[in-house]
Chains A and B, each alone.
Chain A
Amino acid sequence: MSDGTEPNCLKITDIEPEELLLREHSELDISTLGSYDLVPISRLLSFDDVWLIKKVRSEGNKVYLPNKERKYVELRGGEWELALTFVGASIKVIVLGLIARWIYDKVNNWKQAKAEKPGSGIKQPGVKIRLYFTKSKKYIEIEGDAETALKALDKLKKDDF
């Protein structure tokens, strides 16, 4: 699956879902995971999480939000972060495609801002993505420059899990 040539912002780990949930201090009932396509487990959800959830839901997929006391969060830095999300095998390609589109927009906005204000030192946006593919039990972390993250996503799309 992993041929060891991942872009350096990509980390793939084999982990049991119970262990990951424990690590994240989540009280999510593991048996519910199989019934849903997308489960973002964080209590704090960014605008970008909302967009991803709504897009996945609008395609007719089942989304479960386990935290009833959730809050929305907005980070005003140049680093964009998605909540840790459990992803069902059937929507792997959709989710990776949507995230790629999301990052692509960030890269475009950055390039435009840089072109409008040359020399202003605007940095390339950074992204932090954490996904858990429930079927293959693969935990994916992507953290780095947006452009490198796009390459990592491209590689993930080709991987078979």
Chain B
Amino acid sequence: MISEVEELLKSAREQLNNHNIPMAESLYQKAINIINKKIPSVDFGQKQLLIMKLWTTKAELLFFRSTNPIGEETFEDCRNKRLDSLRYLYKCSKVNDYFYSIYHPRLMEYIKDTICRFGCILPEINKNVVVTCPIYLRRLDRDSEIPFHSMGTSIAITYEKGICSICEKDMLDDDCEHVPGEVYDGKICIMTVADFEVDHLALVSRPKDPIAALFTNHSFSADEALKKLPEQDRARKIKYGLPFICFLCRDEKLDSSELTPENFFKMQNLKIEIE
């Protein structure tokens, strides 16, 4: 059965290469139908494999459909197909470590392509457009006198004593000859501290831990943003209830590879799971 599906997929890809889109799609659908029919009648081990095959086939079909619109399909229809394709690949990558190693790199590559081709949705919450994308926030900081979005908190602690773990003398005593981090008779020298107090809490531009960041989003009025859109786009957005789209990465050729699949979906306020 698997070989039959493989044959169909092979033919579908050939049809794709020949730009015979309707034929390619019908072959993909045929393969999906065969897998769907077979799944209930196989044992657990085979079922898992068949489900994976189903997901990857659907991902492939949706991916190619997202770049080959048929008839009246809009930009949004194509984007939705692409997002579903990514969701199927994400499911595949989450099955186990082995599948992760296969599908995660492909997923990352597709996300990059999706950002450049379709942009990212800027979610609207309470009449505000809310941006949480780290690339966008960094870009804002670059043009800003005060880099708010890079800022975070950092604590400073002072110690009265810094004791050498080897000789138990104060580290800076002339008698202590040990260097922190080096090994003496099989023991590593470390500085242990005593009598500490919190000195200050500082606002810093490089918090060591990203979760210490103070501002993790940027928002602006959706109405104001709407006014800035070209007349045609504005009318279309209102008529079809379309979201704002960010094309920063595409327009400025920025590297979006730092975005994980989870970040990518979360920052657009989209579900990552697919039924």
Q: Specify the chain A residue showing the minimal Cβ separation from B206.
A: A78
Is B263 a contact partner of A119 (Cβ separation < 8 A)?
A: yes
Report the interface size class on chain B.
Answer: 35 or more
Q: Identify whether the interface residues of A are mostly helix, strand, loop, or mixed.
A: mixed
- Could you tell me the distance between the alpha carbons of A74 and B159 in the complex, rounded to whole angstroms? 8
Of chain A, the residue at the smallest CB distance from B159 is A72
Contact between A50 and B172 (Cβ–Cβ < 8 Å)? yes
Closest to A114 in B: B258
Indicate if B207 sits at the interface (CB-CB under 8 A): yes
A74 contacts which chain B residues (CB < 8 A)?
Answer: 156-159, 193
B179 within 8 A of A: yes
Cα–Cα, bound, A65→B259 (Å): 47
Given A78-B207, A123-B210, A47 and B154 contact (CB-CB distance below 8 Å):
no
Q: Which residue of B lies closest to A44 (CB)?
A: B158
**Within the complex, what minimum Cβ distance (angstroms) separates A142 from chain B?**
15
Contact residue among A44, A71, A79, A119 (Cβ-Cβ distance under 8 Å from B260): A119
Interchain nearest-CB distance for B81 vs A (Å): 24
Number of residues of chain A lying within 8 A (CB) of chain B: 30
B134 at the interface (CB under 8 A from A): yes
CB distance from A15 to the nearest CB of B (A): 27
- A126: which of B134, B158, B161, B206 is its contact (CB, 8 Å)? B206
| CB pair B160 A71 closer than 8 Å | yes
Shortest Cβ-Cβ A-B pairs, 8 listed:
A77-B154, A119-B260, A78-B206, A121-B210, A78-B208, A72-B159, A54-B179, A77-B204
16 contacts between A and B (CB under 8 A): A50-B191, A51-B180, A51-B181, A57-B177, A58-B177, A72-B158, A72-B193, A73-B157, A78-B154, A119-B258, A119-B260, A119-B262, A121-B134, A122-B209, A126-B205, A126-B206
